[in-house]
Chain A
Amino acid sequence: KAGVTQTPRYLIKTRGQQVTLSCSPISGHRSVSWYQQTPGQGLQFLFEYFSETQRNKGNFPGRFSGRQFSNSRSEMNVSTLELGDSALYLCASSPSPGQGFLFGPGTRLTVT
């Protein structure tokens, strides 16, 4: 099976802009969760989707949003970018919630 894919792999944006990141889970996996990794905060949970429904959300401002499509692919959006949003954004794929989290390679976002 192909692994979890994330696009783009690298992104440079300017403060105030918005960005959309994409995640394609492993075929057959229906749960997708998103994480932010920064040197200061480590790996922090953003949100989790299952069957197109957001079931869980971490402690991030409303500028961070996401969605899941009927084919289980997921996107996350960050609006009004701030310098502190610079991070590695990781997507994890699970066959069902709570089991077998497999990660994609991540998207490195740099905000200047």
Chain B
Amino acid sequence: DQQVKQNSPSLSVQEGRISILNCDYTNSMFDYFLWYKKYPAEGPTFLISISSIKDKNEDGRFTVFLNKSAKHLSLHIVPSQPGDSAVYFCAASSGRGSTLGRLYFGRGTQLTVWP
């Protein structure tokens, strides 16, 4: 069962514009969410995270928004740069229960930023 879903397999954005990557989850026990950037044959690089007690977290060009009632989060990249082109993974975890210490991943969104 896919508890974290990224429904857009790809996104193409012009350099300088905003990139918005979306993620939905089904498990209401998730209380910590992360975004990773990944290149083929490399490990995921951590970008930004958010705890369920917040609805927004910013770090430079990256902002993550969390809507708990909709079980939805999004990553905004502003402005987008060609170097941002990669696969972006959304992940979720729970700080309690049998799923503690485990990350659930979406299938990823391939972001392409063109000049």
Contact = CB atoms under 8 A, between A and B. Distances in A.
Given A102-B46, A105-B43, A50 B101 contact: yes
Contact of A98 (B44, B93, B106, B107): B93
Contacts of A94: 101
A43 B43 CA distance: 11
Given A42-B107, A43-B103, A88-B41, 16 more contacts: A35-B105, A42-B106, A43-B44, A45-B102, A45-B104, A50-B101, A55-B101, A58-B102, A94-B101, A97-B95, A98-B93, A98-B95, A98-B96, A98-B101, A101-B103, A106-B42
Contact of B103 (A4, A6, A92): A92
B96 to A, nearest CB: 8
B44 A103 contact: yes
Contacts of B102: 33, 45, 48, 56, 58
* Closest 3 pairs (CB-CB, A-B): A97-B101, A103-B43, A43-B105
A103 to B, nearest CB: 4
A33 B41 contact: no
B77 interface: no
Interface in B11-45: 32, 34, 36, 41-45
B interface, how many residues as a size bin? 20 to 34
A31 B43 contact: no
B99 interface: yes
Given A56-B98, A98-B94, A101-B93, A45 B43 contact: no
